[in-house]
Structure 1
Amino acid sequence: MLEFNLFLIDYWYFSVPLFLSIILWFRSETRRGGNRVDCNQLTNLVNKESACLVDVRPKSEFDLGAIAGSVNIPFEELDNRNDELLKQQENPLVLICKMGRNAALAGEKLQKHGYKKTHVLQGGISTWQQEGLPLVKVK
């Protein structure tokens, strides 16, 4: 460990740009697709601002259990089906996937189509389940 610290100090002109790049990359990844919201914030957005929940998981996963009131538009079909959300364009959209990655990518796509208020459920449906919150089975 001492050698590593000495290396960082001796070659600071390599170390500083590396750390700055890592910080900037991390910051851009965490903001991709919209603001991150936790489960409590999601509930507040739905109750107070009439947010629309868009689940971008495949239909097979959505049918096993979803957050009540969510609409399933699989990520692969989002470009073709984004017109289904036009009436919700002024309301916040909360994007949900299994872990949060596809929801962020979906948020980027929707922002390109003019949706300004996009949010991503941090940790996805997995976090929702870990917190013991209910899922409804879709038939």
Structure 2
Amino acid sequence: MDRLLDFAQANPLLSLALLGLTLAIVYTEIRRLFRGYKAVSPAQLTELINREDALVLDLRGQGDYEKGHIIGAKHVLPSQIEPEGKLLAKAKESPVVLVDAAGITASAAAEKLVKAGFKRIGVLDGGIGSWQSAGLPLAKGR
């Protein structure tokens, strides 16, 4: 412990940087625990589709969707997600998984659905890229 204090006194900027990074990691992990939706791996998504008929929403642009999407996925732009709309009205208690290019932009749409009362929301961890990396099939066209 004495060596740690000596280091902190000798290197105040490094010590502050370490403290800042530690706090950022802790904050991120705590926020992830309470966000209301979870990251879903390609294997978990396959299981949700096969066992629970999960609704998969592809949030990428129309061109990317047509180049290749998860079989059975519905195309919808993030700005078009309506929790009370026809597509989602029956899915409040069912699993709904959002897919985007890299697993980043789907988070805002997931938060919107959680706030609207959806109980089982997931985001494909790593987006469509992780699906392809797992060697899982894609459908082309509409």
TM range (shorter): 0.7 to 0.9
1:135 alignment partner AA:
L
1:123 to 104, 123, 126: 126
Bigger share in helix: 1
Stretches (4+) displaced over 3 A: 7-17, 29-33
Asked if the contact 1:52/1:93 (under 8 Å) is kept, the reply is yes
Alignment correspondent of 2:28: 26
For normalisation by structure 2, the TM-score amounts to 0.80
The percent of aligned pairs where both chains have the same amino acid is: 32
Q: How many residues align?
A: 134
- Gaps of at least 5 residues in structure 1 are none
1:6 alignment partner AA:
F
1:57 positional shift:
0.9
Asked if the contact 1:55/1:72 (under 8 Å) is kept, the reply is yes
1:25 alignment partner AA:
Y
Separation in structure 2 between the aligned mates of residue 61 and residue 90 of structure 1, nearest angstrom: 29
1:10 positional shift:
6.3
- Gaps of at least 5 residues in structure 2 are 1-5
Are 2:107 and 1:104 aligned? yes
For normalisation by structure 1, the TM-score amounts to 0.81
Give the number of the structure whose alpha-carbon radius of gyration is greater.
Answer: 2
Asked if the contact 2:8/2:15 (under 8 Å) is kept, the reply is no
